[in-house]
A and B are shown apart, each in its own frame.
Chain A
Amino acid sequence: MDPQEYQQIEQQNTPPTPYLKNALKAFLVGGIICAIGQAITFLYIIFFDFTDKTAGNATVATMVFISMVLTGLGLYRKLGAFAGAGSAVPVTGFGNAVVSAAIEGKTEGLVLGVGGNMFKLAGSVILFGVGSAFFIALIKLILVSMGVVEW
Chain B
Amino acid sequence: MLSLVSLFLVGCTNEQTVEISDMSNDEEERAEIEAMIKDTEEVQTGTTILVEDDVLIAIQVKPWLGFKERKIEAKLQKEIEEKYPDLNVLVSSDYKMLWESQKLLEEEDEKKVSDEVKKLKDLAKEET
Q: Which of chain B's residues has its CB closest to A52's CB?
A: B94
What distance in Å separates the Cβ of A98 from its nearest Cβ neighbour in chain B?
21
- Is B87's CB within 8 Å of the partner chain A? no
Do A45 and B128 touch across chains, with their CB atoms under 8 A apart? no
Do A54 and B126 touch across chains, with their CB atoms under 8 A apart? yes
Once A51-B123, A51-B124, A54-B126 are accepted as A-B contacts, the answer to whether A46 and B94 lie under 8 Å apart by CB is no
Once A45-B99, A46-B4, A46-B99 are accepted as A-B contacts, the answer to whether A51 and B94 lie under 8 Å apart by CB is yes
**Chain A residues with Cβ under 8 A from B124's Cβ?**
51
Q: Which of chain A's residues has its CB closest to B127's CB?
A: A53
**Chain B residues with Cβ under 8 A from A132's Cβ?**
none
Do B96 and A57 touch across chains, with their CB atoms under 8 A apart? no
Give the docked Cα–Cα distance between A68 and B97 (Å).
32
B87-119 residues with Cβ-Cβ distance < 8 A to A are 94-97, 99
What distance in Å separates the Cβ of B4 from its nearest Cβ neighbour in chain A?
7
Give the docked Cα–Cα distance between A51 and B95 (Å).
7
A31-71 residues with Cβ-Cβ distance < 8 A to B are 42, 45-46, 49-54, 57
With A49-B123, A52-B95 given, can you name 12 additional A-B contacts, CB distance below 8 Å?
A: A45-B95, A46-B1, A50-B96, A51-B94, A51-B95, A51-B96, A51-B97, A51-B124, A51-B126, A52-B94, A52-B96, A57-B128
17 pairs, A vs B, C-beta closer than 8 Å: A42-B95, A45-B95, A45-B96, A45-B99, A46-B4, A49-B96, A50-B96, A51-B95, A51-B97, A51-B124, A52-B94, A52-B96, A53-B94, A53-B128, A54-B127, A54-B128, A57-B128
